[in-house]
């Protein structure tokens, strides 16, 4: 007998293997010849046929929007809120400074050229909008140039100028402008409880403010070399790309704070008096600025000769001839 021949004379229930028991129920040869197998009763001892589970409809869920990353707020230096003081225009004119509302002069034009050059250099400068005005010795005109540069820059329509009196040994910027000085930079450096923005003097020139030097200390250089100096300066300028700081520093060869201030500036404007500053003093002063700000020379007290460049006379003409 072959493997498909049913075993006669034996019952189905509980007999033989599954293959043998299936052979007794289904005619495999007929299925192979194309004839359908006859209907048969399924023995009770066979396991029930598996029932396919009904398909489960997927549950539609709203897409989950990922939470936005936490972005820390960008710090913006505060506005000045202190009392406003008027600048003494008469004192400015008597001392030979640029008059904010005065006529165009040769000197005002010279400072216009200077500020245009400085503004182009400050654009996207990684060291910030900070200019140090310094000199080798006293009496070479650094304070004169710092004030005139601040007045000229304050005429810009989209700039805010803070003139910082950093000559701690001999402060004089507020007095030259006719302002009453109070606490200043050195006080804020020495006392963490003093907010430096509260020390700023607002003037009646909307875009010009002044930060006094403050109380003198025996540790001026050490305070300037501390990390707090950079923190305070950033508090004055962060988030304010239109705000420019101009420092009037002590003489480089007379006091050490000047070189330390230069490390916080983008440009160091080294004032050279044409009829006074010696070459050796200039070299020594420039050497103290190495590794810090970009150094530029500003020639002061130059006497113009006939036929040379004399700005201002063009605007003083009464006619429109050119």
Average pLDDT over every residue of 275-299: 88
CA distance 41 to 7: 18
Average pLDDT over every residue of 125-146: 93
CA distance 48 to 51: 9
CA distance 94 to 301: 17
pLDDT higher than threshold 50 for residue 196:
yes
Length of the chain: 322
**pLDDT, tens digit, 9 for 90 and up, residues 62-95:** 677 777 777 777 788 889 888 899 999 999 999 9
Output the CA–CA distances (angstroms, integers) from residue 34 to 30, 135, 315, in the order listed: 6, 114, 116
CA distance 270 to 282: 9
**Residue 205 host element (H or E):** none
Whether CATH 3.10.50.40 fits 84-316: no
Query: What tokens does 51 get?
Result: 């029932």
Worst-scoring range by mean pLDDT, 11-20, 54-63, 72-81, 299-308?
A: 11-20
Angle between the N-to-C axes of helices 106-122 and 142-154, in degrees from 0 to 180, rounded to the nearest 10: 80
**Residue 96: left (phi > 0), alpha (psi -120 to 50), or beta?**
left
Which letter does DSSP use for residue 110 in this model? H
Per cent of the chain over pLDDT 90 is 54
Query: Bridge partners of 132?
Result: 247, 268
Output the CA–CA distances (angstroms, integers) from residue 22 to 2, 28, 46, 293, in the order listed: 15, 9, 10, 99
Q: List, in sequence order, every beta strand (DSSP E) within the chain.
A: 84-85, 130-135, 160-165, 201-203, 208-211, 243-248, 267-273, 294-300
Worst-scoring range by mean pLDDT, 4-18, 170-184, 194-208?
A: 4-18
Query: Bridge partners of 208?
Result: 161
Strand 294-300 and strand 267-273: the pairing is parallel
CA distance 43 to 12: 8
Query: What tokens does 120 get?
Result: 């182009």
CA distance 164 to 172: 11
**pLDDT, tens digit, 9 for 90 and up, residues 24-37:** 655 555 555 555 55
Q: Give residue limits of the domains in the chain.
A: 1-42, 84-316
Query: Bridge partners of 271?
Result: 135, 298
**pLDDT, tens digit, 9 for 90 and up, residues 136-164:** 999 999 999 999 999 999 999 899 999 99
CB 243 within 8 A of CB 207: no
C-alpha angle with apex 253: 249 to 258, nearest 5 degrees?
A: 30
Average pLDDT over every residue of 169-195: 94
């Amino acid at each position: 007998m072959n493997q498909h021949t049913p075993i006669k004379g034996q019952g189905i229930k509980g007999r033989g293997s599954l293959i043998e028991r299936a052979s007794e129920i289904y005619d495999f040869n007929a299925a192979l010849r194309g004839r359908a197998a006859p209907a048969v009763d399924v023995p009770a001892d066979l396991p029930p046929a598996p029932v396919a589970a009904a398909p489960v409809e997927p549950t539609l869920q709203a897409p989950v929007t990922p939470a936005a990353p936490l972005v820390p707020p960008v710090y913006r230096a505060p506005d000045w809120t202190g009392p406003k003081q008027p600048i003494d225009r008469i004192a400015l004119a008597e001392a030979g400074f640029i008059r904010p509302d005065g006529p165009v002069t040769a000197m005002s034009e010279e400072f216009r050229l200077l500020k245009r050059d400085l503004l182009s250099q400050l654009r996207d400068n990684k060291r910030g909008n900070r200019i140090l005005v310094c000199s080798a010795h006293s009496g070479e005109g650094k304070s004169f140039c710092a004030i005139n540069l601040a007045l000229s820059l304050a005429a810009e329509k989209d700039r805010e100028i803070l003139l910082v009196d950093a000559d701690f040994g001999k402060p004089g910027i507020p007095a030259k402008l006719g302002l009453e000085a109070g606490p200043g930079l050195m006080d804020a450096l020495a006392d963490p409880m003093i907010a430096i923005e509260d020390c700023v003097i607002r003037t009646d020139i909307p875009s010009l403010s002044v930060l006094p030097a403050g109380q003198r200390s025996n540790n001026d250089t050490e305070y300037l070399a501390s990390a707090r100096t950079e923190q305070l300066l950033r508090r004055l300028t962060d988030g304010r790309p239109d705000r420019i700081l101009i420092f009037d520093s002590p003489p480089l060869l007379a006091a050490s704070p000047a070189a330390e201030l230069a490390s916080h500036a983008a440009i160091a404007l080294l004032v050279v008096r044409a009829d006074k500053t010696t070459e050796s003093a200039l070299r020594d002063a420039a050497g103290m600025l190495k590794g810090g700000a970009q150094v530029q020379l500003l020639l002061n007290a130059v006497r113009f000769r006939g036929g040379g460049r004399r700005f201002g006379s063009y605007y003083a003409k009464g006619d429109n001839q050119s």
